[in-house]
Chain A
Amino acid sequence: MLDSIIFYFFAGVAVLSAALMVTRRNAIHSAVFLITTLLATAGIFLQLRAEFLFITQIILYVGGIMVLFIFVIMLVRLDAPIHQLRFRMQRLVAILVAAALGMEVTVILLLAHKLPGGGLLIQGSAPADRLPPNSEELAKSLFSNYLLPFEIASILLLVAMVGAVVMAKNRRRTDEP
């Protein structure tokens, strides 16, 4: 019962603020609602006893990426050039994506009907003390079974970082002849 309440609370907050994020005109307001969505998603992770994922979501997305978003929004005037940059096919693509998502949700809801509890109530999840420690298990599988993908991902990030530094440096050189 409690699990259901917590899940529907966070899910509702996430969906509502995602909708508000899209509809706000002010970029900072959108950013605030995006933060709320991310936090609510983190809450669902925690409710699923995935505490490492929960804190990673908070530290990386809310504490890191969103701070950078807001930083950029405050430094750059977004209202002026946005009309020139607008993607022309937006409406068509949006309708297609929305239709696909709607179909998916309908199918899931229809299938979920066969689950115990009608698929609406969350079945009691395992108590936290009976689960193996989350971060340790994650580290073990990351550094044994998935070592190669992990290394490839880190090299990719390194390349992105070096690329960003190079681009920043290049622009500077042209600035000061």
Chain B
Amino acid sequence: MNPTAQALLHFLQTWWVELVCAVVIVAIVPLIAGYVVLVERKLMADMQARLGPMRVGPHGLLQPIADAVKLLIKEDLVPRDADGLIFWFAPVITMVAALTAMGALYFGPAFRVAQDINIGILFVIGVSSLGFLGIILGGWASNSHYSIIGAIRSTAQLVSYEAAGGIAIVSALLLAGTLRIPDIVAAQFDSHVWFIFLAPVGFFIFMVASIAETNRAPFDLPEAESELVAGYMTEYSGFRWSLYFLGEYANMIVVASVATTLFLGGWLRPFPNIHWLRWLDLLPALFLGFVGVYCIYRAGKQPVKIQTGFMWAVALACFGLAAVFIAPWIIAPLRFALPGLNGAFWFLFKVSAYIYVFMWLRFTLPRYRFDQLMHLGWYILIPLAIINVFSVGLALLLESEFGLNRWFTMIVTTAFTLAISLFLVRMHDKRTAAASSAAAVPSDSYAG
């Protein structure tokens, strides 16, 4: 055997788990994104007292597949004056950045691609922020006014909110004392509490910043469909458009995973240290079983026969998954898989909950005006994030140097941060009142 083939074989032997996980992520994320869109449409329909997609499959369950087929066979238009290469390449950047960032995440203690990256959480944040290059370049390459306005808005928004989000993360990192993802989760296990309770202000700032970074309402100014047609995506169609779309939803999963890892206890179940709550480990199987039973209940009420059959199939799939979760309890040799399975369940559960809150916000809050967005970012969130880091550091110092109770120091410093935030908001109100009284001043939204 020649040395090249030998090196390749050695490479495969060392990395096959990682390669398989990577392929699974790349294959599954588009499907998950499609179903997130379906959930979003259903939720929007529910909030607006309509039914949402109902035609394709029972309750529209096959709608994402139909949408994907439609997007794939749609005509792919390239504007005549567009910058060919960049126009072609920009959506790929967005998509690849989001998927690469996913490579460093831990979906539960066992399911991950990259093994033990020392700078894990920084890698995820840094690489996922590269997706913005795709938006900016795509908007520019389209050679259209709507696109370039969307792209410029996107840049300004990214620069303002990434600063706030990045500083907010520091508060959790101070508590964890490390950048490695498994160690961050272990630190939350050791401190008996998720970091959201120790640094609530940091979580809030990160949440607002992550909504802004993923371009979702109420911060969806880069694509603002009622003002800019579709912003940076105006000239894109078919498959390229769907790459942007996938990138956006993959990015949502990434920020939700970062928030889950840093603030919501990662893959730990609720109350991970309390022994008599160990029955909570059975909850994943019970949850899936309940969903299966509900599907059977609904199956009888379907109007079309084939839809009844489909509902039964979904129910069986749920029962199968529940069986996978319950198997390690019954069969002793499989017990090693229990932490991995339960961890994956809790992690994905928390990520879904976070994305669900994103959707609520999208359908409840109207879009910000651009100057309001800039004011919120620069006058309130960034100062608040800096003060929050200072407070958390002070609390940790008080705890380690003077032996004060951690809860006491945390509550005091959080109260301090909140008082300052009140002050900031009041200052901001005064400033805007003064500005509106002198209304003759020409407004400059990018002055920040």
Q: Which residues of B contact A75 (CB under 8 A)?
A: 152
Name A56-88 residues within 8 Å CB distance of B.
58-59, 62-64, 66-68, 70-71, 74-75
Does A67 lie within 8 Å of B155, measured CB to CB? Answer: yes
Name B135-185 residues within 8 Å CB distance of A.
136-137, 140, 148, 151-152, 155-156, 158-159, 162, 179
Contact with A along B182-208 (1 / 0, CB 8 A): 000000000000000000000000000
Q: How far is the CA of A52 from the CA of B126 in the complex (A)?
A: 11
Q: Is B129 an interface residue (CB 8 A)?
A: yes
| Beta-carbon nearest neighbor of A28 in chain B | B140
Q: How far is the CA of A169 from the CA of B137 in the complex (A)?
A: 30
Q: Which residues of B contact A74 (CB under 8 A)?
A: 136, 140, 148, 151-152, 155
Q: Which residues of A contact B365 (CB under 8 A)?
A: none
Name B87-142 residues within 8 Å CB distance of A.
116-119, 122-123, 125-127, 129-130, 132-133, 136-137, 140
Q: Is B330 an interface residue (CB 8 A)?
A: no
Interface residues of B (CB under 8 A from A): 3, 7, 11, 83, 86, 116-119, 122-123, 125-127, 129-130, 132-133, 136-137, 140, 148, 151-152, 155-156, 158-159, 162, 179, 441-442, 447
Q: How far is the CA of A94 from the CA of B152 in the complex (A)?
A: 34
Known contacts A2-B7, A32-B86, A51-B119; A68 and B127 CB within 8 A of each other: no
Q: Is A134 an interface residue (CB 8 A)?
A: yes
Known contacts A63-B126, A67-B132, A68-B159; A55 and B137 CB within 8 A of each other: no
Q: How far is the CA of A63 from the CA of B158 in the complex (A)?
A: 9
Does A70 lie within 8 Å of B441, measured CB to CB? Answer: no
Does B119 lie within 8 Å of A59, measured CB to CB? Answer: no
Q: Which residues of B contact A70 (CB under 8 A)?
A: 133, 136-137, 140, 155
A59-B126, A71-B155, A135-B122 given; 17 more Cβ-contact pairs under 8 Å: A1-B7, A28-B86, A29-B86, A52-B118, A55-B122, A58-B130, A62-B130, A63-B162, A67-B132, A67-B136, A68-B159, A70-B136, A71-B152, A71-B156, A74-B152, A133-B118, A176-B442
Q: How far is the CA of A55 from the CA of B119 in the complex (A)?
A: 8
Q: Which of B126, B132, B152, B155 contacts A55 (CB 8 A)?
A: B126
Interface residues of A (CB under 8 A from B): 1-2, 26, 28-29, 32, 35, 51-52, 54-55, 58-59, 62-64, 66-68, 70-71, 74-75, 128-129, 133-135, 168, 172, 176
Could you write out 24 A-B pairs with CB less than 8 Å apart?
A28-B83, A29-B86, A35-B133, A51-B118, A52-B122, A55-B123, A58-B126, A59-B122, A63-B162, A64-B162, A67-B136, A67-B155, A67-B158, A70-B155, A71-B152, A71-B155, A71-B159, A74-B136, A74-B148, A75-B152, A133-B118, A134-B118, A134-B119, A168-B447
Q: How far is the CA of A75 from the CA of B153 in the complex (A)?
A: 11
CB distance from B375 to the nearest CB of A (A): 16
Q: Which residues of A contact B151 (CB under 8 A)?
A: 74
Does B11 lie within 8 Å of A58, measured CB to CB? Answer: no
Q: How far is the CA of A26 from the CA of B85 in the complex (A)?
A: 13
Q: Which residues of A contact B7 (CB under 8 A)?
A: 1-2
CB distance from A170 to the nearest CB of B (A): 13
| Beta-carbon nearest neighbor of B132 in chain A | A67
Q: Which residues of A contact B119 (CB under 8 A)?
A: 51-52, 54-55, 134-135
